[in-house]
Amino acid sequence: MCRTGFRNRALQISSKRKHDELDVLLVGCGEIDHLLNAESYEKIKAVTYNICAVDDHAGAMRAIESGQFDACLVNFDLNEKTGLDLVRETNAANCGLPFILLTDGGDQQVDAETMAAGVVDNLIKDQVTEPLLARAIRYGIERKRIELRLAALAEFDELTGLANRSHFLGALRHEIAVAKRTGVQLGIFFLDLDRFKRVNDEMGHMMGDHLLMKVADVLRECCRETDTIVRLGGDEFAILATNIEDSSADAVASKILSALSRPFTIVGHQVDTSISIGITLYPSDEENIERLLANADMAMYRAKAVGGNTFRYFDANLSAELKRKRQMSRFLREALECGDLFAHYQPVIDLSGTRFIGPKCWRLGGKEFVAPSEFIPIAESDGMIDRQGERMLLTACRDCVDWQAEGLSGVGVAVNVSPSQFKHSDMVEVVLQALRESRLDPGLLELELTENTIMRDFEGAADALQKLRSEGMRIAIDDFGTGYSSLAYLKHLPVDRLKIDKFFIAGVESEFGDRTISRAVIRLCSGLGIDVTAEGVENENQLRFLSSKKRFSVQGYYFAKPMPLERFVTTSRNWNDG
């Protein structure tokens, strides 16, 4: 019946105009219009009132339905109905119109009813003056504006203008009730920006806010008018799509992914982004609201776990796995925030008899041991890998300093550097800062990077590695054989060590090709003066094949699993003493 909101032109008039113009509806009280148009007062009040006067309830409803008013003055007595009836009916239709009620005299019961109905002011007819009426109208408009603002904040997101979580839950309950009666299908989409934290960290929160507003605009363009688009908080959004088929859900998700694949220009900067989308359907997946939301969340997380920039439907068979990953993500984030993140160390054994410490494994304080292969993809997809990498680098440097004082003088430490760390942070400065804070001798730190990390930007990587090498650190290529597997680039890089991936070591017992490749790598590295480490040595036969090689070291479960600092120090000291 009534348009959502009201046109408060009084608050939009340019300050350069001599007069404000306000549209006022008078219902059953036309006798006071002379007060609003009194020529003597108009010169002072700098306001022009455009008056629309009707006599009864029905005329008022027609006027409100067909026009927009800044305020309404209504007589309490409208013959067949009261002014309060009009207020209640129009407020139920969300007109947002400020009502001022005119009564014959003070009545506490009427006053209480008018307040409950949402009337902004009460005036006694025979006491109304020109200034009093003008103030009441201005006050009523401003009060209603504030009320609507507060109501909007309760239901809508201030930054993007989208519905918020509270509005979303109410809409979802309503649409489920409708779907139960009509048999239509609902689609619940959960959306999460990929690597949004990096935008905030590298470009500032203002740029992050601008990006969220741009994404909100894209979602509006990609969805139907009947869909409810929501910002749940942070970089998380949701869409409630009514009466939707499976193919239509695919189309909506694909349209959003395509639209967000194009970079945004924000304040003169190009910003790339992508999004992960999880979809669940009502009633085929679930009928309970809480479980529906959990399903959409798990589906979204599944999309993020495969690298993002895609969509996935909820699959009940994967719920246990996804719950584990979600739990892991929460544990990692809590451990990072609380400083409850520790390193495990796996000895690397020099076959000539010298011991030095190899790669680290990470664990959560108070939780079970977690292998890097399990949590690194989660940390990367959730944007935590850079902070975790920096924290673990500093932890490893401090631990290395500690074990020098525990009798392991000259024993260094090797630390993996993730592709994200190497690309998106000033890695050289990060490493130097860790050395300064820990006071570790740079010659005791070895940094491990994979081939793929280096080859993504070979020139940039070579420059950064040369700077690190010039500071005294050692450089290792990790997991050789899983990436480009080319020794040609090694002569252009300041590499001290190459680590043969466990995939090749596992085959040296039975696979001629693996033995041949391993021998060739060892021989060529020896010629280049590069040390070689074999990863994943798990039995005596593998060790026997490798033991005759020079400049060679091994690591693997045959010698020791990753262990906490205290056990590592004890184990290494016993090994040296033995």
Q: What is the 3-state secondary structure (H, E, C) of 100-116?
A: EEEECCCCHHHHHHHHH
Asked whether residue 8 carries a pLDDT value surpassing 50, the answer given is: no
Check: CB of residue 248 under 8 Å from CB of residue 257: no
Residue partners of 78: CB distance under 8 A and separation at least 6 = 27, 28, 56, 57, 60, 85, 86
Sequence letter at residue 284: S
pLDDT of residue 280: 94
Whether omega before 377 lies within 30 degrees of 0, making that bond cis, reads no
Lowest mean pLDDT among 4-13, 41-50, 302-311, 489-498: 4-13
Residue partners of 446: CB distance under 8 A and separation at least 6 = 412, 413, 414, 415, 473, 474, 475, 476, 496, 497
pLDDT of residue 76: 85
pLDDT of residue 490: 74
Give residue 149's pLDDT band: very low, low, confident or very high (50, 70, 90): confident
Q: Which of 395, 393, 384 is nearest to 337 (CA)?
A: 384
For 472, other C-beta atoms within 10 Å of its C-beta total 12
- Domain extents in the chain: 9-154, 165-314, 328-570
Q: Which of 270, 304, 258 is nearest to 202 (CA)?
A: 270
- Run of H or E residues at 180: helix 165-182
Give residue 420's pLDDT band: very low, low, confident or very high (50, 70, 90): confident
Pairing between β-strand 474-480 and β-strand 445-450 as defined by DSSP bridges: parallel
pLDDT of residue 361: 52
Find the distance separating the first CA and the last CA of the chain, reported in whole Å: 90
DSSP 479-535: EETSS---SGGGGGS---EEEE-HHHHTTTTT-HHHHHHHHHHHHHHHHHT-EEEE-
Question: What tokens does 256 get?
Answer: 């959003």
Check: CB of residue 319 under 8 Å from CB of residue 334: no
CA dist 90 and 84 (Å) reads 10
| Per-residue pLDDT reduced to its tens digit, 526-547 | 878 888 888 888 888 888 877 7
Check: CB of residue 191 under 8 Å from CB of residue 256: yes
Question: What tokens does 504 get?
Answer: 């090749």
Highest mean pLDDT among 11-20, 86-95, 414-423: 414-423
| Per-residue pLDDT reduced to its tens digit, 216-231 | 999 999 998 889 999 9
Give residue 17's pLDDT band: very low, low, confident or very high (50, 70, 90): very low
Q: Which of 332, 262, 326, 267 is nearest to 300 (CA)?
A: 326
Select from 3.40.50.2300, 3.20.20.70, 3.30.1490.20, 2.40.128.30 the CATH code of 9-154: 3.40.50.2300
| Per-residue pLDDT reduced to its tens digit, 34-66 | 777 655 444 445 677 888 888 888 888 888 888
| Per-residue pLDDT reduced to its tens digit, 364-412 | 544 556 667 677 777 777 778 888 888 889 999 999 999 999 888 888 9
Q: What is the CATH number of domain 328-570?
A: 3.20.20.450
pLDDT of residue 350: 81
Check: CB of residue 90 under 8 Å from CB of residue 67: no
Asked whether residue 491 carries a pLDDT value surpassing 80, the answer given is: no
The beta strands (E) that lie in 154-260 are given as 186-193, 228-233, 236-241
Q: Does domain 165-314 correspond to CATH entry 3.30.70.270?
A: yes
Average pLDDT, the chain: 81
- The alpha carbon of 408 is separated from its chain's Cα centroid by a whole number of angstroms, namely 44
Highest mean pLDDT among 106-115, 155-164, 393-402: 393-402
Q: Average the pLDDT over 21-45 and give the result.
A: 69
| Per-residue pLDDT reduced to its tens digit, 264-282 | 888 888 888 899 999 999 9
pLDDT of residue 483: 55
DSSP 486-502: -SGGGGGS---EEEE-H
Question: What tokens does 439 get?
Answer: 């006071």
CA dist 31 and 17 (Å) reads 29
The beta strands (E) that lie in 330-454 are given as 341-350, 355-364, 413-416, 445-450
Highest mean pLDDT among 145-159, 439-453, 504-518: 439-453
CA dist 175 and 165 (Å) reads 15
Give residue 550's pLDDT band: very low, low, confident or very high (50, 70, 90): low
Pairing between β-strand 474-480 and β-strand 497-500 as defined by DSSP bridges: parallel
Question: What tokens does 265 get?
Answer: 């220009």
CA dist 100 and 86 (Å) reads 12
Question: Among residues of the chain, what percentage have pLDDT more than 70?
Answer: 85
CA dist 150 and 147 (Å) reads 5
Asked whether residue 10 carries a pLDDT value surpassing 70, the answer given is: no
